[in-house]
Amino acid sequence: MHPLIKAILLAIGIVIPVMFIALRLLFKNSVLFKISLIWGTNLLLIMVITRLSAAFPEHFSQYLAMLIDIIVTFSCFYIVAHIIKKPLHDSISSVTKLSEGELNLKLSSELLNRKD
């Protein structure tokens, strides 16, 4: 096995668990934990793809690496936007209903049980 592949597998095997534990200690069960975990994983994937592209340019061109990086990053943008926008939209909707005088709001058990 190529030494770079071994180094990448070792880095992934160490970095992801350490990152998970560190972020869990910092952010507990908040939305920041999820967002930080997504971005940390994104950075790790970009690093791996860039190193593979540099080590094997004949099989893995820079253009392919860039395309994969863009797709992965925009996927992360979409996931993070969904994580942030849905609860925010629900909260704004509830506050709007309260300001209009509606006091019988239905809250989902998912929102009531969140710890963030």
pLDDT score of 11: 84
Residue 116 has pLDDT above 70, yes or no: no
In which band, very low, low, confident or very high, does the pLDDT at 1 lie, cut at 50, 70 and 90? confident
Token pair belonging to 12? 């992934």
User: Which range in 13-17, 30-34, 77-81 is most confidently predicted, on average pLDDT?
Assistant: 77-81
pLDDT score of 111: 65
pTM for the model stands at: 0.74
Residue 36 has pLDDT above 90, yes or no: yes
Q: Which residue has the higher pLDDT, 107 or 18?
A: 18
Q: Which helix (H) or strand (E) holds 82?
A: helix 62-99
Token pair belonging to 60? 């893995």
What are the CA-CA distances from residue 23 to residues 5, 10, 40 (Å)?
26, 20, 10
